Structure 1
């Protein structure tokens, strides 16, 4: 989808969808970075799957447990930087997308001396529209998320189980 040189198109359904879903992903990372992740499961469907490398968590109770355990480890500073959000497939009520994740993280309180990312990953998401069929009362949620590590800093410990 390349616009004609020198033209600016009005908002299209694809543009609105891209914006809405990238805002959802950004809001989830914000909850994890600036909150304690306790609200993270609310971004997922009740039967969602969340996979970190080779470890899969099923349902919002298990997903909540991931972030409870992360919080129980003690103070942690993280910034999940999302970019290159790209919609791969859009069907009625369902979207598949991929984004790039750059993670800076370290146990402790800010400021921390980390200056390089601990992880760069591809994030594969499948979104479904839940709730009423009316676009004003339904909302997008993540039905499946798979995080595939592409670069991983040796010796760094991730705050979530990956095995």
Structure 2
């Protein structure tokens, strides 16, 4: 059973988990989730070799990524786990998670292969005046790289 931190209400913990789930659904092209429902206008997204600042830069990255995936027939599935929400004194929440990604190209079903990567994600989320949680800073640190990893993860 997953138990939220003692000073983080269960509803906030669940909202933060749903924020992450929506993000991965967008990354895997399984749902069209508006980026402004996930990232603050001034958000920073740090993918190691790729730094994106502001919602327009993040949106351009995702648009280019989606176009490339659709053109090449690339499929990804990101599996996120070890979700740890750490409330901060200023009301924000730091979230840590571990993500494993599998990739392939072509028609489904694709052959199962070793992961193309495993990364640690570190997020800073802030509640908005309307009650929603958004990413203000999201960073990924690649731990393991396998075949098919994105260039920014190498």
- Tell me which interval the TM-score lies in, with the shorter structure as reference length: 0.7 to 0.9
Counterpart of 1:52 (choices 43, 47, 50) is 47
Unpaired segments of 5 or more residues in structure 2? none
Distance 2:37 2:43 in 1: 11
Unpaired segments of 5 or more residues in structure 1? 4-10
Q: How does the TM-score come out when normalised to structure 1?
A: 0.78
Aligned to 2:133: 140
Contact 2:22 2:33 (8 Å CA) reproduced = no
The structural deviation recorded for 1:49 is 0.6
The structural deviation recorded for 1:156 is 2.2
The structural deviation recorded for 1:53 is 1.5
Matched position secondary structure for 2:88:
strand
Matched, 1:156 2:154: no
> How has the CA–CA distance of structure 1 residues 146 and 37 changed in structure 2, closer, same or farther, with 3 Å as cutoff?
farther
Larger Rg: 1
Distance 2:53 2:32 in 1: 17
> How has the CA–CA distance of structure 1 residues 139 and 82 changed in structure 2, closer, same or farther, with 3 Å as cutoff?
same
Aligned to 2:105: 107
Matched position secondary structure for 2:138:
strand
Distance 1:72 1:141 in 2: 25
> How has the CA–CA distance of structure 1 residues 50 and 23 changed in structure 2, closer, same or farther, with 3 Å as cutoff?
same
Question: Number of aligned pairs?
Answer: 147
Distance 1:19 1:143 in 2: 18
> How has the CA–CA distance of structure 1 residues 26 and 36 changed in structure 2, closer, same or farther, with 3 Å as cutoff?
closer
Aligned to 2:64: 69
The structural deviation recorded for 1:88 is 2.8
